Copies of this chain bind each other. A is one copy, B any other.
Amino acid sequence: MNDFNVPADSKLYSQMVELGVKAKSAASILANLSSEQKNKCLIAMADAILANKEAIEQANILDIEDAKKAGLSAAMLDRLTLTAKRIETMAKGVKEVANLPDPLGKELDSRQRPNGLKLSKITCPIGVIVIIFESRPNVTADAAALCFKSGNVTILRGGKEALRSNLVIAGIMVKAAQKIYQDFPLEAIQVVPTTDRQAIPMLLSLTEFIDLCIPRGGEGLIRTVISCSHVPVIKHYKGVCHVYVNEDADIEMAQRIIINAKVQRPSACNAAETLLIDEKIAKQALPMLASALVEQGVKLHCDRNSLDILKSELPPETAMDSIVPIDKEEWAKEYLDLILSVGVVKNESEAIAHINRYGSRHTECIITKSREKAIRFQHEVDAAVVCWNASTRFNDGGEFGMGAEIGISTDKVGPRGPMGLDELTTYKWLVYGNGQVRA
């Protein structure tokens, strides 16, 4: 028996163990491929995705038909759909990974000890990574390409409505690689071949074969994964990001940044959810910022002070139905929508305390001309990325120059912030001796 009250000899459990064993064995082979071999494989994978566009579309159509029968929303159906253009973008993404530098074999540290031992800390693959994601099937190709380039085996678990699409994409990729490199293991990229929900806790109990899980999705998905996983999980729960406009801010810059942070892509985890403004400038600056936001269609959920200021300072023709009192619980809310919490704070200390209390350790921003205040804010705010006079939307692998990213982490163990290829590696210590023993 295992933790799930499923007999260890159940068919599903055996299937998951087999998946794990095969993945682990493929991991040894991947770890030994050269950069050149990996890049050739990636290019072949990209070409094969293009060459097999029709097969992918056919599988996708079957998935869509079933999803329609199951009553999926239009938004979900759109996410599920692989148009010809989306397939081309997918192939392009895989090819771009081939052009990124190899993250393996980098020396992170080296030491010589008094007894003559030499130590070298070098990057190497993590091993077997389980990626759990929701309906968008193009994630299959993106995630598999990044994991493969960093020497890792991928086990993918997408939304159940995309199973056919995911299986076809993964199959095309591994077969293409095997054509140009005959020892390439077909188990290097696997899709969990069942939609049974018990498969996930079983797979994530196999600490011997699975090294890491990366769930990509909403807070509910991530909490479910955490509650059943025995292997390490890298994730973020949510992105409750703040823009704090300090008394020494350039207000025009503040307006540009808060609009960008809130409006440019409100569904992104690095979009702003809260505007905090210093009380010393609130009366003068807040009405201007609020008008600009409302003009962009943003609804403001305001604390008492900001509400009072806006009611008394905004011109009477302003659409006041966009400016409402905040519910206390909304300070910790990720709206993912054109809604912004607005609060007035006494000073930097109160801003920092508010953010450390309600923030999600994701991305925080201060707008100020004061170097001293900015440095204090960056030092004291606990978040993966802390911006000074720049939009929260820059917390992104591409914007950080990492190439593609597999997600953003708010963990404090392992990678934090955007996760590119370097963040998909671990390291080992190599010890070089000439017979040393310990005294």
Contacts and interface: CB of A to CB of B under 8 A. Distances in A.
Interface stretch (A79-87, A166-174, A337-345, A380-388): A380-388
A391 B437 contact: yes
27 contacts: A3-B227, A27-B382, A28-B356, A28-B382, A32-B380, A113-B400, A119-B401, A207-B226, A211-B412, A232-B413, A253-B435, A257-B437, A384-B428, A386-B428, A389-B434, A389-B435, A389-B436, A390-B432, A390-B434, A391-B437, A391-B438, A395-B431, A400-B429, A414-B414, A416-B426, A416-B428, A417-B429
Contact of A226 (B230, B388, B390, B429): B230
Interface in A199-232: 207, 211-212, 226-227, 230, 232
Most chain B beta-carbon contacts within 10 A, residue among A256, A390, A416: A390
Contacts of A378: 428, 430
B431 A386 contact: yes
Most chain B beta-carbon contacts within 10 A, residue among A127, A414, A429, A431: A431
A385 B438 CA distance: 15
A12 interface: no
Contacts of A261: 437
A391 to B, nearest CB: 5
A393 interface: yes
A274 to B, nearest CB: 17
B382 A127 contact: yes
B212 A438 contact: no
A46 to B, nearest CB: 26
Nearest to A254: B435
A234 interface: yes
A429 B385 contact: yes
Nearest to A378: B430
Given A119-B400, A232-B411, A401-B113, A387 B433 contact: yes
Contact of A126 (B113, B390, B412): B412
A257 B264 CA distance: 62
Contacts of A335: none
